[in-house]
Structure 1
Amino acid sequence: MEDIFHEIVKYPPSGYNKDGIYMYDDWTSISDIGKSFNGKIFSAKDYLRVENQYINTVLMIMSELDCKYLTIVYIEVNQNEMIHDIEMYEKKYGVNITGTFPNLKKGMRISRINIPNILRLCLRELCYIVFSCKSKKLELYFSYEYYLNIKCPINKSTLNEIVKKNNLYLDPRG
């Protein structure tokens, strides 16, 4: 089994040049809602569709590994700013996050049922968290430009199937 970091991206392999540079103008953040990319306005609906693709990918990987929870092994967050920004995103972009949020901290275990909202916080750049499920050798975090970095013992072909089912890609740059 391969146990290396993989990058999962929303960018199709055909968009990269031979030097591994993505050649198209594309959105990279929730703050891009309302902006034009390739002649089309990027909508909240488009944003939420892709956000859900990433969340479903993580949940499918957790299922494949029979991982019941993720633990926060590293976190950068300002709880007050996060709450303010959640409200601001709802007003500005019409995207919300329902439910209550615990005081996120290192060492906290997040169950599968609660992980989608915590992932949304990360994808919306409201906090930075590195998650782990040590017993299943799973580690993941989101980085800039909507990259999901994941280390897990799932073989590459199975991981690629999960990613494809969610209309995402294993980073073609390897």
Structure 2
Amino acid sequence: MHKYRITKYNPLFRDAEGRFTRDEWTSISDIGKVFENQELTIEMYKKTEDSYIKAVHLTMDFLNLPHLHARNIIKSFHDNQFLALINDNIELYPKDMLQYYFSTNNNEKITHEDIDKHCRLQLREAWGSALFYPQKCKLFIGYDYLMSIHSHIPLDPIFQSIQNLGLFVEEF
């Protein structure tokens, strides 16, 4: 398997142990806070989130994946807690996303149409899940806007497209 870290974090700012050393936002809950003398706005947050989603689509298209499987979906909050937490940024949660959140089950095939909602909810730490396509791809989205992709073939041909989104690709 070919393994890649795809994130918003510039590797030039990692220390010898690989830790990121700059003051950087890591969560949707950081909207409105200041990092490197700049307030994180909803628009800035959404632009970065969109870049991650586009990187997932680029990978799925390159690998010719019709869908991904989702297993071990674990919600981070009880439903009432979730609804209370999203209230500050409710405009980021359209009706179709909320319907998806409340109706998705384990062991589902996540289509291209729904991968956006699924990954956004994972980036927003609403849930965790294992995303994969057998024998071809594993997609990991963790806390702090960390994403990695394991692929059965090299992803080099789409590196530039991913970097054009403002993300960084690191092989590991």
TM-score by length of 2: 0.86
Structure 2 distance, partners of 1:87, 1:163, is 34
Residue equivalent to 2:25? 27
Determine which structure has the larger strand proportion and give its number. Answer: 2
Do the aligned partners of 2:26 and 2:144 also contact (CA within 8 Å) in 1? yes
Within the alignment, does 1:118 sit opposite 2:118 as a pair?
yes
Within the alignment, does 1:4 sit opposite 2:40 as a pair?
no
Residue equivalent to 2:146? 147
1:149 is paired with a residue whose SS is strand
Structure 1 distance, partners of 2:77, 2:17, is 40
Structure 2 distance, partners of 1:167, 1:125, is 21
Distance change >3 Å, CA 79–CA 32, structure 1 → 2: closer
2:69 is paired with a residue whose SS is strand
Shift of 1:166: 1.8
Alignment of 1:36-75 (within 5 A): 36-75=34-73
Residue equivalent to 2:164? 165
Shift of 1:27: 0.3
Structure 1 distance, partners of 2:153, 2:164, is 16
Distance change >3 Å, CA 47–CA 35, structure 1 → 2: same
- Map Cα deviations across residues 18-43 of structure 1 (whole Å, 9 max, x no partner): 33221110000001111111111111
Shift of 1:79: 7.8
Structure 2 distance, partners of 1:11, 1:154, is 24
Question: 1:77 is matched by which residue type in structure 2?
Answer: K
Shift of 1:171: 3.4
Within the alignment, does 1:104 sit opposite 2:104 as a pair?
yes
2:153 is paired with a residue whose SS is coil
Structure 1 gap segments, 5+ residues each: none
Structure 2 gap segments, 5+ residues each: none
- Equivalenced residue count is 168
The percent identity for this pair of structures is 23
2:12 is paired with a residue whose SS is helix
Could you tell which deviates more after superposition, 91-100 or 28-37?
91-100
Shift of 1:7: 1.4
Structure 2 distance, partners of 1:8, 1:80, is 30
Could you tell which deviates more after superposition, 138-147 or 91-100?
91-100
Distance change >3 Å, CA 50–CA 5, structure 1 → 2: same
Structure 1 distance, partners of 2:3, 2:141, is 12
2:144 is paired with a residue whose SS is coil
Considering only aligned residues, what root-mean-square deviation do their CA atoms show, in Å? Answer: 2.1
Question: 1:39 is matched by which residue type in structure 2?
Answer: N
